[in-house]
């Protein structure tokens, strides 16, 4: 069962997929109804999930489920991964590249390779106050309160 993204409870579980590039307006317009349809049909062992989905910052696909209504099973999570892989194929984008981190610089999402972090910190391009899109956020409340969050308040704090 689809529920609007902004009506998710704070404890709703999230899965965040970061695209390797910004999605165009045309791509977003095509993807949005696919997300709603997936969330509407998403189920666990035949029981519909209270699910939602949204694109954020032109770069992040977020799937959500109200776990207190019905928990997502391994099979339902596999279905969501397959759905995201289908989107990758259809739109020629990668949502599974974990080697690049996303930062908000001005109004733009900038991707930085993991192998570049020390260099970017040393040059001052990234500091503890640079806003970081932590894709490890696991619930809607955290997404609402601290996403993006200062890099110094994330696992990246060890670099400062």
Residues 89-137: pLDDT tens digits? 999 999 999 999 999 998 899 999 999 999 999 999 999 999 999 999 9
Q: Please give the Cα distance from 113 to 124 (Å, whole number).
A: 16
Report how far residue 135's alpha carbon sits from residue 129's, in angstroms, rounded to the nearest whole number.
17
Q: What is the mean pLDDT of residues 64-83?
A: 84
Locate 55 and state its tokens: 């694109």
Which among 101, 97, 158 has a CA at the least distance from the CA of 134? Answer: 101
- Asked whether residue 1 carries a pLDDT value surpassing 90, the answer given is no
Q: 3-state class of 10 per DSSP? A: coil
Q: How far is CA 101 from the centre of its chain?
A: 12
- Average pLDDT of the chain, as a whole number: 93
Between CA 14 and CA 154, with CA 63 as vertex, the angle to 5 degrees is 40
Does the pTM of the predicted model rise above 0.85? Answer: yes
Provide the pLDDT for residue 25: 97
Here the tokens at position 157 are 């704090």
pLDDT beyond 90 at 83: yes
For residue 45, the model assigns a pLDDT of: 79
Percent with pLDDT over 70 in the chain: 99
Is the four-CA dihedral 77, 81, 87, 89 of positive or negative sign? negative
Span of 4-8, 12-16, 65-69 with lowest mean pLDDT: 65-69
- pLDDT value for 48: 80
What pLDDT band is residue 33 in, cutting at 50, 70 and 90? very high
- Asked whether residue 68 carries a pLDDT value surpassing 80, the answer given is no
């Amino acid at each position: 069962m689809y529920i609007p993204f902004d009506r998710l409870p704070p404890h709703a579980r999230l899965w965040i997929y970061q695209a390797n590039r910004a999605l165009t307006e045309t791509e977003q317009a095509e993807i949005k109804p696919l997300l709603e349809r997936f969330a509407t049909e998403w189920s666990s062992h035949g029981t519909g999930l209270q699910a939602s989905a949204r694109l954020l910052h032109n770069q992040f696909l977020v799937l959500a489920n109200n776990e207190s209504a019905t928990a997502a099973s391994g099979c339902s999570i596999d279905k969501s991964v397959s759905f995201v892989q289908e989107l990758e194929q259809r739109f020629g984008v990668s949502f599974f590249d974990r080697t690049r981190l996303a930062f908000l610089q001005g109004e733009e999402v900038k991707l930085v390779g993991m192998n570049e972090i020390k260099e970017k910190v040393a040059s001052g391009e990234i500091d503890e106050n640079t806003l970081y899109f932590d894709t490890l956020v696991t619930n809607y409340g955290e997404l609402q309160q601290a996403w993006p969050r200062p890099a110094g308040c994330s696992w990246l704090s060890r670099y400062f």
